[in-house]
A and B are shown apart, each in its own frame.
Chain A
Amino acid sequence: DTGVSQDPRHKITKRGQNVTFRCDPISEHNRLYWYRQTLGQGPEFLTYFQNEAQLEKSRLLSDRFSAERPKGSFSTLEIQRTEQGDSAMYLCASSLSGGPSYEQYFGPGTRLTVT
């Protein structure tokens, strides 16, 4: 399978714990995006990387959130001191630069539940 993969698919954690999600993009894609989708809403942009450089961050990405893409391949999204409001689906997408960024391919998402 050459699509975008995300791990884990589901995560239940207690408030105050730290969680980390992983995204593996399509292998030749050098752009990688993170979105958050809450119940009943469309996805909202969080951040994006071109290769290993984080080029844009949304104001939704509070200080408790950090994303990395150390070797320009997979990416991790960490949430520290989770809060109930962090419960959401976290979506990863990838694309090629050099073309319009609309061609974003999405992974299946990681559903986070904070109790």
Chain B
Amino acid sequence: AQSVTQLDSQVPVFEEAPVELRCNYSSSVSVYLFWYVQYPNQGLQLLLKYLSGSTLVKGINGFEAEFNKSQTSFHLRKPSVHISDTAEYFCAVNTRSSSASKIIFGSGTRLSIRP
């Protein structure tokens, strides 16, 4: 079975400051890793994904994440946040199997940007 832990339920930061949202996962098999963003009253949007290869992946809106296999982590970062980044962010995993279907989500981190 797989599980995802997001260590911070809320992260307040000032505009233009850097931010890191932490994510750890647990799985007995190889997984794909993702970050999704959910803006108020909207569905989930894929920010970025790690499938294989380079452990540093870049996504939309200036976000990037680094896969660390030894630490079983996939932390999300942005060097300078904007008010429009205010949203809830979900880390997620899916197993590397042709029959895999469901995505396992973490409980989310609410990012609030202060002007």
Contacts and interface: CB of A to CB of B under 8 A. Distances in A.
Interface residues of A, number: 24
Contacts of B49: 102
Nearest to A9: B41
Given A4-B43, A42-B108, A101 B90 contact: no
Nearest to A55: B101
B14 interface: no
Interface of B: 4, 9, 32, 34, 36, 41-46, 49, 51, 90, 92, 94, 96, 100-108
A65 interface: no
A33 interface: yes
Secondary structure at the A interface, as helix, strand, loop or mixed, is loop
Contact of A43 (B42, B44, B100): B44
B44 A106 contact: yes
Interface string A85-105: 000000101000000111110
A42 B106 contact: yes
B107 to A, nearest CB: 5
A106 B90 CA distance: 13
